[in-house]
Amino acid sequence: MMTDMDKAENSAPDSMVDDPQDVEITGAPPLPLSSFIGRERELGEIRSLLKKGKRLITLVGVGGIGKTRLALELAYNAGTLGWPGVHLAELASLGQPDLVEGAVLESVGGGSSRSPLKAAAEHLRGSSTLLVLDSCEHVLGAARRVAEALLRSCPSLAIVATSRSPLGIAGELVLSGMSLVRSAGNGRGMHATHPLPALPRGD
């Protein structure tokens, strides 16, 4: 039986911005203090995957290897990938997993709610959006649950996550140790047998 997760074909975001400077980034991402040097190959690979409609990419590795910096560079250049809005949810400071839903809702500008995950999904539904979930490792289960729920509810949403471990969601593409991992399963190191639906194709 085909589920909603299996229906879409590979494609690109349906709403392209004309000028990358028009992109609005919410969630107060810190401005880079240095030039982005040395990760151009990884950045290009991720950009290519996102343009092809891949919806969940997790940058995995130990602390200090540049996962957050790479994710932020993607956010700063989101206009060239087709997202008029980018949201950053910084999870590193959260002391409890049950705070993840509220942090994501706050990052997307959805206000407050007794059901923050539902409110975030309603706020994001229908818009082409890139969501960055930064530092998921200490709230991994909650981050996994939130990411999967939003991807199922919001067909034009893509997520880039950073973590010390993969989220473990079907369709997840893992950039491990800052290089795309390989596996015997499909030759691309992508840990999914039932891929997420791709973003709708733009005209």
- Reported as a single tens digit per residue, the pLDDT across 38-53 is 567 788 888 888 888 8
Cβ atoms of 68 and 60 within 8 Å: the answer is: no
- Reported as a single tens digit per residue, the pLDDT across 56-114 is 999 998 888 788 888 888 888 777 667 777 899 999 999 899 999 999 999 998 777 78
Task: Between 182 and 36, name the one with better pLDDT.
Answer: 36
203 within some domain: no
Task: Between 187 and 167, name the one with better pLDDT.
Answer: 167
103 within some domain: yes
Nearest 10 degrees: CA dihedral of 95, 152, 159, 17?
Answer: -130
Count of domains observed in the chain: 1
71 within some domain: yes
Residue 44: CB partners within 8 Å, gap ≥ 6? none
191 within some domain: no
Number of H helices, E strands in the chain: 5, 7
190 within some domain: no
Q: How far is CA 4 from the centre of its chain?
A: 19
6 within some domain: no
pLDDT score for 138: 95
- Reported as a single tens digit per residue, the pLDDT across 114-163 is 899 999 999 998 888 899 999 999 999 999 999 999 999 999 999 999 99
CATH number of the domain at 116, please: 3.40.50.300
Please tell me the pTM assigned to this model: 0.73
The residue-averaged pLDDT of 4-28 equals 43
Rounded-to-integer distance, Cα 106 and Cα 60, Å:
24
- Structural domain including 45 reads 17-27+38-180
**Highest-scoring range by mean pLDDT, 49-63, 147-161, 168-182, 184-198:** 147-161
pLDDT score for 72: 86
Cβ atoms of 15 and 128 within 8 Å: the answer is: yes
88 within some domain: yes
Task: Between 33 and 167, name the one with better pLDDT.
Answer: 167
Centre a 10 Å sphere on the Cβ of residue 189 and count the other Cβ atoms it contains.
16
188 within some domain: no
